[in-house]
Chain A
Amino acid sequence: MSGVLNPRPAESDVLALAEDWVSQGRSVALATVIETWGSAPRPVGSHLIVDANGRFEGSVSGGCVEGAVVQEAIDVIGVGAPRMLDFGVADETAWRVGLSCGGRIRIYVEKVG
């Protein structure tokens, strides 16, 4: 007999993992998609977690801006204060990090703990 519940990778797993990481003594930042405009690959409420060494799990853009978010998250872990990030075609940074889908996203990054 197979398990009663099918395995479903979900946002909850990322949040559970964030707690695990903290309990292992790692410093963790949580990035959350706050708003999207136009075509954006991940819905509002999607999470990415990052540790001080830049290891990450989850996704806020399906890969387009994760690299930049991870850098900012490492900063947030050091500084402590949360930060709002905007990526989009109107923003030069977006070209650089490559939000090729043409959408815009706003991401909130906060330290956990």
Chain B
Amino acid sequence: MKDETGSYESRIRTIALLEGQEEERKRLARELHDGVGQLLTGIRLQLDCLHNAAFNESQLESYQVLKELVLETIETVRQVSFDLMPGVLTDFGLPAALRLFSEKATKVSGVEVIFSSQGNLFQWPENLEIHLYRIVQEAVNNSLKYAKAKKIEVILTNNGGAVNLRITDDGTGFDLKEVQKKKSVHSGLNNMKLRAELIGGSFEISSVKKKGTTVSVQLNT
């Protein structure tokens, strides 16, 4: 079996690498959120104990700055942990994670990212959910980065076991052949395709210049 993603052996290697990477991301995300995050909380609480201390002016200023820095660090840890692997994906499943991802993406980019879903979506194995989540992450980030989209829709449906995931934007669109030459975009597209195939799904991407791009994954569960 040979295709654009390389030989069969190299594909197996890629799969193992991807799955190992996800395991590691999950571990790191938890460690950051529950480990470092709690230590920071401890610092925050101890700092608060100095609330009524008799500081002079410059000490008081340091104290205020310190407090703000700790809060900022807690927020950063939350964000980095979320980017690595959202806890909500493991704890509440794919739809919850996609909704949160869309909300955050909207907030950060100012582009409207809308998530909707239909059908029963809660009985999937974790690795399937992770791959679908990463595909959405990659597709939405591409749209935000290159497509100048105003609106991105993420739609997840399950119709009696036929699962369809679609990410559509109204951006500039592109010529697939041209894009294949750009290494970074090319590898992103291949990654999505590989992930889709890994969970036994089919991957499609269609793009029309000045109209927008649709990425879709279909699989039977």
On whether the two chains bind one another, the answer is no
